[in-house]
Structure 1
Amino acid sequence: MSPIKTTSYKQLDIDFLIEELTLSEKISLLAGKDFWHTVPIPRLGIPSIRVSDGPNGVRGTKFFNSIPSNCFPCGTGLAATFNKELLVEAGELMGKEAKMKGASVILGPTCNIVRSPLGGRSFESYSEDPLLSGIAASSIVKGIQNEKVVACLKHFVCNDQEDERKAVDTLLTDRAFREIYLKPFQIAIRDVNPKALMTSYNKINGEHVSQNKAILQDILRKEFKYDGAVMSDWFGTYSTKEALDAGLNLEMPGPTRFRQLVQAVHAVQANQISEEVIDDNVRYVLKLVNEGLKAEIPDDVIESANEDPAAGELLRKVGDESIVLLKNENNILPLSKTAIKGQEKIAVIGPNAKAAQDSGGGSASLAARYKITPWEGIKNKIQEGNNTVSLQYTLGAFLDRNLPDVGDVLIDEEGEKGINARFYKHPPGYKGDRLLLANYKLNTSKVFLSDFKSDKLETNDILFYADFTGTFIPDETAEYEFGASCLGTAQVFVDDVLIADNKTKQTKGDAFFLGMGTREERGSVQLEKGKSYNVRVEFGTAPTYTLEGGPVEAGGVYFGIRIKSTPEVEIKKAVELSKSVDKVIVVAGLSKEWESEGFDRPDMDIPGFTNQLIEEIVKVNPNVIVVNQSGSPVALPWLDKVPALVHAWYGGNELGNTIADVLFGDYNPSGKLSMTFPKRIQDSPSYINFGSTNGQVWYGEDVFVGYRYFEKVDLKPLFPFGYGLSYTTFELDNLVVESFDGSIDIQLQVTNTGKVAGAEVVQIYIEQENPSINRPVKELKDFGKINLAPGESGLIKISISIKEATSYWNGLKKQWQSDKDDYKVLVGTSSDDIKLEGKFSTSKTFNWVGV
């Protein structure tokens, strides 16, 4: 789909248009035209503009066979850089890529709170801390809008779990709402004014946010003075009159469900909905169109991938800075690319070693333009040396919920990696011409057909068939599993023999992020190393589904291949290999199958047998380095037994290179945890109040989220907020704190006292000495990052407004309040490592509202 043609990028005269538009035309503007576009009014020169998913990168308008994109590190990884300027650069790259996809609006960033390690979309947000979340979001928005592309900040507000996300009623105090959950949005609106805002799915204290007048009008419009457009999350509109009255300007996606022409016109004519309300909502939609026109996207743009090497360089820099070194006993890291004496042997083991965990799942995921696995990144580093270091690999443990994607395993008809896909009107065995609809080469075996099109199909015809074929050449002689899950029906054949049947026997499962598909059905067959086998998957779309409650779209199919083994066999192989090498790198963690939009994690454990794998390896080799990839905390029961732990998040395209950069010291790690890692899920402040109970969730921890809770109850976490090690050391001194003209000016000196260059993140926390209410021990109020050569010193200067540094929400007065009191300025390198302390005082108590 292409945007409606425009003849000019000239700004629309909104007042004139509101006078000229008919009531029917006005109503048509208040919902999307389709999944990705606004409605045009050609009669008056109002064009359609395009939006695109964008938290991890800009996908474009297609799920099926989409144009590849550059994938950024996940949100919690971006925040871990603590680098405002770098995040602006990342936002600028997102803006550039949006224009290459013809999108003038990016649906992101996401700045909800990481309230619990179990939140399905925690990876997509930034932090447990509202200030870090707000600054990270502001930096990304600033970069996007520097490119004249609209940033749509989401999800406003309290969209902090996936359990019953469209129905759950979030119950919380006004103070927690203001100080924790609204605060990131307030900061972004104050500092960079995002031109669009997306409402959340959930209710707050009994009312869906998308129709909550107190939130959208009283707070957002009147108090925050927000003047951008407000759109729903996809299918997150629940009413007609209430949502319009509240100021939900744009229902997405289209075509509308709640703003149908006949019904809406009737409501206006019956004085149920005021025409002034219609005009007000239209005004904001037209403002959004005007903002979109500023991107000057050409008419009939053809989506394209950004293959500029500079994009990969920036992604690698962002990924390098996101990685957090959590443990490094006896300086086992960094590793050397060359052995000093003889030859050094390194084993690379683990389910994520040869998998590219670029992002979490759901709408944040996309078809990455390329991916570097940790194995590839490490192997490339070793090849830079003098070949005195050798690498060996074994799997060690399985991670996949379903059999892995084989888009880069199968060989297509041209002898290259890939899958041939042929779509037909009629099923296999049809007596006659099956009528070929389309022929594609795919790079993935996870096929979602919601936007498949063919001019040989009637409009809205979703019944068709596909054959997916490729050649499989096994690496070793063994029994192999083949399997498929689907929205429709599917059968997997190897050399024309049926191996896996998801057609004649289907069981309800959770395939696809909508959770509407079948369970994966598997079968196995013995195969010989080096021999070629023809793999064919025969698929029928949703109308062929044999279970109740089938989807209304074309559906899709996921299929995969894996050597058949047991955990015991794989662990035994890993242990034997570990005995024969000098060091072991275990690459573990989660994947988008376990951390995704659509569901929350059941616990903090790494699934499967990864923990047992590490426990057994450390028994035979003490030199174990674990690289964990996850967007939020996981349990680490073996932590005391391994000398090194690196947290690498979901790292985008360059994930393998960035992991290798840190492991081998080509980049000195400078990332800091954007959330607290508890020792166990029971220690999480939201533990007893997470997930929906009879349609409700109570935010019982109130303002004590993350480190605020751990410090208040004096509970030691596994790793504190803001924590991260380096290969060098830093000294902080010469703190100067001065307050005047409504601000606190802070200055200190940072010195690199080690032997290698590095960067340190200096964190500024404020503590009230005599609080009149129950407050956190201290709260993050700003931070700065400085790069220093060995022996070099530099100054960090930070200015913070007194009202932001000292205020809390007074629920009785319904205003922010700053107390007359003495305050401590606590300067450190993590929330529990305070190096310097200063003081300032305020001379009066005052209240305020706004941003």
Structure 2
Amino acid sequence: MAFNIEETLSKLSVIQKIKLLSGLGWWHTEPVEEHGIPSMRMSDGPNGVRGTRFFNGVPSSCFPSSTGLGASFDIDLAYDVGVALGEECRAKGCHILLGPTVNTQRSPLGGRSFESFAEDPTLNGLIAAAYINGVQSKGVSATIKHFVANDQEFERFSISSDVSERALREIYLKPFQLALKHSDPWALMSSYNRVNGVHVSENTWLLDDILRKEWGFKGLIMSDWIGVYSTAESIKAGVDLEMPGPTVMRGKAVERSLAAQKLFISDIDDRARKVLELLQKAYASGIPFNAPEEGVDTPELRKLLRKAAADSIVLLKNEKNLLPLTSESKVRSIAVIGPNAKYAFSSGGGSARLLESYTVTPLHGIEAGAKEFGLDVKFALGATTHKLNPLLDPYITLRDGSGKGALLEFWNESPADGFATTQTNLTDGLKPCVWSCTTKVSNCVLLDGVDESKVEKDCFLRYSTVFTPEESGTYEFSLTLAGSGNLFFENKLIIDLSTAPTPGDYFMGLGTAEVKVQVPGLKAGQGYLLEVRANNHDYVKQVPIIPNWGGLRLGAVKVVEPEDALKEAIDLAKSTDVAILVVGLNHDWESEGYDRPDLELPGLTNRLVSGVLKANPRTIVVNQSGSAVTFPWINEAPTVLQAFYGGNELGNGIADVLFGKVNPSAKLSLTFPKRLEDVPSYPSYGSKGQEHGKILYNEGVFVGYRGYQVKNLTPMFPFGFGLSYSTFEYSALKCSEISAEGKFTVSFTIKNTSNVDGREVAQIYISDDEASLPRPQRELKGFKKVALKAGESRSVDVGLDREALGFFDERRGEWIAEKGTFSVLVGASSEDVKLKESVDLKNSLTWRGL
């Protein structure tokens, strides 16, 4: 369908134009159907396409977390992942994907650190550009976010990121700038926070002067969800679309601002035009409007998911060449141990979470890989490290026996006296519910997925299911609510959250704390009735601007005595040829909404690792986390892998690396420090680092590996580090002369000196030897992933430009590359420099823009 923007805009009334400037519910734009303007659909990324439902949505493919994809250093893989996400958007009738995230990882404590690609702006920006190009090749808009300096979750709506313009330009704006230079994102999302005292959503300097005028961004700017705090100011600054709907800061407020001449019709036209420009692209894509949502599950997609999982795994140590495990390894038995082995932690928490179409746990992946070699695999938990009790999803069935899951019923009025209190009569003599549904999950985030034509926001609900444990013993049940209510086990009250419940982090910090209770004597294979009765009245009063029906989270775990679990794991490790320890964090520890307090592995993890390492020197440690953690036992561990959150195929990806089907080639996308105090942003970060509503970016441009180098601190593992089953040799570095425009080529040779085919990530760092102000010792400015057969050599060429030489001069308000000598360093990591050469810039260069 042909869609003429200016002709359509001219036909719209002022009220209709204003309507376009805010969302319709959580995931749609407002339509003006009488003028052929349908509602565009959007969906959360960045590692999957959830669709339009938090609750009971269509299952989706989950790719590795962005730190994992960044660790691949693979532009082609990032593009392919983008294409797959674009195809899933099309299947779900989605026109706008809310990703990628490119906020620089200022600290590994950041709750959303796993959502961004790297601590380095070059890696961050170039991987993002490939991802964007892949998504948009399918006619789907990518949305690069969160612009800008949105680097912590503490007070994220109000905190001011107080940062020098130089650091802002070189570190925090740079990945956005590079992504715009190497791709053309059709949308951008402004961040929640302030920058130097001004909220980004009303920051004309950032959104208009830099983004639109200086960089030439032509796309739509939307707010983060409930991230608009003004009317005239946000519209003047350039935020086209307030999300979600219904509007809070626009609508009638815009009409009043027009009457007061704080805004003019031309301002409304400018914003509405951007919405229509994106709509024009949506029409051109051929993606239908208001389409039914479908999943995607093909052999080709599963292959890509598995490749992405394996290629995001970093081999940190392999001192005794224990890996790969092959038929020549003389291994007959394997002990799989650890709290992350039996669960598939596919992604971090918050808006990145989705309902996976399927998952493969590390235990299942290892079992499948071992089966090919006829190896015996046994499992032991070793330690519990969950922050919240594990969900019940695998172990629940409907009361009527018709299938997996639970029944959720809703009433607009209490269906019985004392329904959601401790005095509840547990008979089924309740009034008929106004609406019900089944669900396969025990974490019900009721932001959507409820029939709002029948169920009022202020409602009562009952969640009932049958829990069937795998093992006999005492179980600890837990309940968390957005609202108030109680949990009943076999018609007996066991958890009271109706009498002054303690507040907690659940539901954006407005739900209750998790309450736990132990129930002894459960028998394996026997079903037990669980029932939650609740109302969300108190919760709804707290969050009137976010329409929802509250929610609940129900968990359970078998109670194990910590010392007994440790002993069982250590005894198993002693009795087997090889032990594979799978430990780490999960989506409850790393999530949107809160930051981590420290870099420690939870619970008794470190005791478990140390004990197993002592019991069996042939132990492989697999750590799973979205960001850095500390390993106090690292010197005792000969074999260590970093797995990140690996998506659907996490388990198979780990197994492919362990058993040699895939030669690891990933490199760390962020530094792993020895201790929290070594992190460059320490202590000016998070709740303990804030100064009356602001965070001082005291480290300036010395973020990530730059900070370790300038302070001469040795990290546990440096940025860009990663081993392979192959070995590589670098030679013959040559650099062309720098052209008048600042372009030059770095050429060198890489040889695979092993008898194993492999891939190497060659990294190009630049050092300004004659800078007029303090600069990092070296900065990543290019990289190339090279596949080499055993014994093969290949010449590598990497083109660089003035971006590789310049810094931002705050005095002049422009970029400058000063004439003089620069060192070109080529290596296998930020600390492992293999080759060095010098180039001369004959004349200084200055510029603005891309």
TM-score, structure 2 as length reference: 0.95
**Retained in 1: the 8 A contact 2:322–2:639?**
yes
Verify: 1:561 aligned to 2:556, yes or no. yes
Deviation at 1:548, TM superposition (A): 8.0
**Aligned match of 2:845:** 846
In the alignment, the residues of structure 2 paired with residue 527 and residue 369 of structure 1 have an alpha-carbon distance, to the nearest angstrom, of 34
Aligned counterparts, 1:46-57, within 5 A: 46-57=37-48
**Aligned match of 2:377:** 391
**Retained in 2: the 8 A contact 1:422–1:437?**
no
- Which digits, 9 at most, give the CA deviation of each residue in 1:495-523, with x for residues without a partner? 333333333462222223x1211122222
Task: Give the AA of the match of 1:271.
Answer: Q
Verify: 1:501 aligned to 2:502, yes or no. no
Task: Give the AA of the match of 1:111.
Answer: V
SS in 1 for 2:517: strand
Distance 1:499-1:547 versus aligned 2 partners, 3 A rule: farther
Verify: 1:24 aligned to 2:22, yes or no. no
Task: Give the AA of the match of 1:286.
Answer: L
Verify: 1:369 aligned to 2:369, yes or no. no
Distance 1:520-1:85 versus aligned 2 partners, 3 A rule: same
**Retained in 1: the 8 A contact 2:148–2:190?**
yes
**Aligned match of 1:530:** 524
Distance 1:733-1:417 versus aligned 2 partners, 3 A rule: farther
In the alignment, the residues of structure 1 paired with residue 234 and residue 381 of structure 2 have an alpha-carbon distance, to the nearest angstrom, of 52
SS in 1 for 2:683: helix
Q: Which moved more, 1:394-403 or 1:484-493?
A: 484-493
Aligned counterparts, 1:172-183, within 5 A: 172-183=163-174
| Aligned counterpart in structure 1 of residue 302 of structure 2, from 298, 301, 312 | 312
SS in 1 for 2:506: coil
In the alignment, the residues of structure 2 paired with residue 669 and residue 339 of structure 1 have an alpha-carbon distance, to the nearest angstrom, of 18
**Aligned match of 1:328:** 318
Deviation at 1:260, TM superposition (A): 2.2
**Aligned match of 2:408:** 422
Deviation at 1:693, TM superposition (A): 2.7
Distance 1:643-1:339 versus aligned 2 partners, 3 A rule: closer
**Aligned match of 2:440:** 443
- Which digits, 9 at most, give the CA deviation of each residue in 1:265-295, with x for residues without a partner? 2321321212211111111111121122222
Deviation at 1:394, TM superposition (A): 1.0
Q: Which moved more, 1:236-245 or 1:730-739?
A: 730-739
Tell me the percent identity.
Answer: 42
In the alignment, the residues of structure 2 paired with residue 163 and residue 360 of structure 1 have an alpha-carbon distance, to the nearest angstrom, of 17
| Aligned counterpart in structure 1 of residue 737 of structure 2, from 736, 739, 746 | 739
**Aligned match of 1:716:** 714
**Aligned match of 1:782:** 782
Deviation at 1:202, TM superposition (A): 0.5
- Which digits, 9 at most, give the CA deviation of each residue in 1:725-749, with x for residues without a partner? 0011011112221125331112211
In the alignment, the residues of structure 1 paired with residue 182 and residue 513 of structure 2 have an alpha-carbon distance, to the nearest angstrom, of 47
Aligned counterparts, 1:578-657, within 5 A: 578-657=573-652
Distance 1:126-1:531 versus aligned 2 partners, 3 A rule: closer
Aligned counterparts, 1:3-22, within 5 A: 9-10=1-2, 12-22=3-13
SS in 2 for 1:18: helix
Task: Give the AA of the match of 2:379.
Answer: Y
**Aligned match of 2:422:** none
Verify: 1:260 aligned to 2:251, yes or no. yes
Q: Which moved more, 1:160-169 or 1:497-506?
A: 497-506
Alignment length (residue pairs): 833
| Aligned counterpart in structure 1 of residue 75 of structure 2, from 76, 80, 84 | 84
**Aligned match of 2:773:** 773
**Retained in 1: the 8 A contact 2:93–2:289?**
no
| Aligned counterpart in structure 1 of residue 263 of structure 2, from 273, 295, 307 | 273
**Retained in 2: the 8 A contact 1:199–1:231?**
yes
In the alignment, the residues of structure 1 paired with residue 722 and residue 538 of structure 2 have an alpha-carbon distance, to the nearest angstrom, of 52
In the alignment, the residues of structure 2 paired with residue 86 and residue 504 of structure 1 have an alpha-carbon distance, to the nearest angstrom, of 52
- Which digits, 9 at most, give the CA deviation of each residue in 1:397-456, with x for residues without a partner? 112122111111224458687312131423565886632444544332111111132366
- Which digits, 9 at most, give the CA deviation of each residue in 1:597-622, with x for residues without a partner? 00000000011110111122222222
**Retained in 1: the 8 A contact 2:410–2:459?**
no
- Which digits, 9 at most, give the CA deviation of each residue in 1:178-228, with x for residues without a partner? 000000011111111101000000001110011001111111111001111
Task: Give the AA of the match of 1:774.
Answer: P
- Which digits, 9 at most, give the CA deviation of each residue in 1:552-580, with x for residues without a partner? 63111111111112322221221222222
Task: Give the AA of the match of 1:543.
Answer: H
SS in 2 for 1:615: helix
Verify: 1:670 aligned to 2:668, yes or no. no
**Retained in 1: the 8 A contact 2:590–2:596?**
yes
**Aligned match of 2:339:** 351
**Aligned match of 1:468:** 464
**Aligned match of 1:830:** 829
**Retained in 2: the 8 A contact 1:474–1:527?**
no
SS in 2 for 1:687: coil
In the alignment, the residues of structure 2 paired with residue 366 and residue 432 of structure 1 have an alpha-carbon distance, to the nearest angstrom, of 36
SS in 1 for 2:354: coil
Deviation at 1:309, TM superposition (A): 1.9
Verify: 1:192 aligned to 2:183, yes or no. yes
**Aligned match of 1:97:** 88
**Aligned match of 1:5:** none
- Which digits, 9 at most, give the CA deviation of each residue in 1:240-271, with x for residues without a partner? 0111111111111111101122x322321321
In the alignment, the residues of structure 1 paired with residue 790 and residue 92 of structure 2 have an alpha-carbon distance, to the nearest angstrom, of 44
Task: Give the AA of the match of 2:528.
Answer: N
Distance 1:337-1:70 versus aligned 2 partners, 3 A rule: farther
Verify: 1:244 aligned to 2:238, yes or no. no
Aligned counterparts, 1:198-213, within 5 A: 198-213=189-204
SS in 2 for 1:688: coil
SS in 1 for 2:833: strand
Distance 1:528-1:284 versus aligned 2 partners, 3 A rule: closer
**Retained in 2: the 8 A contact 1:748–1:795?**
yes
SS in 2 for 1:294: helix
**Retained in 1: the 8 A contact 2:125–2:178?**
yes
**Aligned match of 1:400:** 386
**Aligned match of 1:3:** none
Q: Which moved more, 1:561-570 or 1:46-55?
A: 561-570
In the alignment, the residues of structure 1 paired with residue 524 and residue 585 of structure 2 have an alpha-carbon distance, to the nearest angstrom, of 31
Verify: 1:148 aligned to 2:144, yes or no. no
Distance 1:65-1:15 versus aligned 2 partners, 3 A rule: same
Q: Which moved more, 1:526-535 or 1:564-573?
A: 526-535
Task: Give the AA of the match of 1:494.
Answer: F
**Retained in 1: the 8 A contact 2:505–2:512?**
yes
- Which digits, 9 at most, give the CA deviation of each residue in 1:751-774, with x for residues without a partner? 111111110000011111211110
**Retained in 1: the 8 A contact 2:726–2:754?**
yes
Q: RMSD in angstroms over aligned alpha carbons?
A: 1.9
